Amino acid sequence: MPLPSGIHSLGTPFIELQSVDSTNNYALAQIHAKLAQPGTCYFAHEQTSGKGQKGKTWATERGMNVIISIVLKPDFLQPIRQFQLSACVAVATHQLFSKYCGSSLKIKWPNDIYWKDRKLGGILIENIVRSGELAGTWDWSVVGIGININQVSFADDIKNAISLKQVTGNSFDQIDLAKKLCLSIDHFIRGLWTTERRLYWKCITDFFIRKSKWLNLKKTTASFQLL
């Protein structure tokens, strides 16, 4: 069965940025400038004004962590399925890092990755839906992910952060992990349109903290922009 037009190999191309305010901002600017290519992953060695959920910032140490934004063109999905994409990315992220962190790694709604009671990373998806004659068409998504990898010192106002190095005692190649994360997300997104969706949703319920809360939600918290 051929893939829908909106599914592209994620992480190709893989573009490294030395320093940006926000990888999501950079990716959105590329989209609006009509320079974006579906599947592109923007990796930042330094992010000065990263975005978090509910307007929070995401501060990281230069050259220590996974800071990426992946450009998707999810036109094979209806906009009302945005929650499914959000959950899909969270599970794909969990699946990769649970190989290193074990069963103590969980997903906390909306899109936080926790090891026990400490935050390993977060996800922020920003979407673009067309207006006008093509109103309701889900045109683009930018999947922003930040995972603490080798950083061991955090700002005083960040009380519950933890890194993969602190969990495992080992250092990691963050670029290699970012590319593996693209592959993991690619795998799970392809499952969104297959007959394996029921098994996929069973997988999701196994990993979320406070399952009853998010299962009752009808809408995702991901933000939308109109073209």
* CATH number of the domain where residue 170 is located: 3.30.930.10
Mutual angle of helices 197-207 and 82-101, in 10-degree steps: 60
| pLDDT score for 29 | 97
For residue 220, tell me if it sits in a domain: yes
For residue 2, tell me if it sits in a domain: no
For residue 103, tell me if it sits in a domain: yes
Q: How confident is the model at residue 7 (pLDDT cuts 50, 70, 90)?
A: low
Task: Please name the residues in contact with 53: beta carbons below 8 A apart, sequence gap of 6 or more.
Answer: 110, 111, 112, 122, 124, 221
Judge whether residue 32 has pLDDT over 70: yes
| pLDDT score for 55 | 54
Euclidean distance between the first and the last CA atom of the chain, given in angstroms as a whole number: 32
Cβ atoms 181, 145 nearer than 8 A: yes
Q: Range with the lowest mean pLDDT among 16-30, 66-80, 177-191?
A: 66-80
Three-class SS of residue 214? helix
Please state the domain count of the chain: 1
pLDDT in tens, 152-197: 998 877 779 999 999 999 999 999 999 999 999 998 888 776 645 5
Mean pLDDT over residues 32-58, rounded?
83
| pLDDT score for 108 | 87
For residue 1, tell me if it sits in a domain: no
Whether the CA torsion 195, 197, 198, 203 is positive or negative: it is positive
| Residue 100, token pair as written in the block | 């290193």
Mean pLDDT, rounded, of the chain: 81
Other Cβ atoms within 10 Å of 158 Cβ, number? 11
Domain hosting 62: range is 14-226
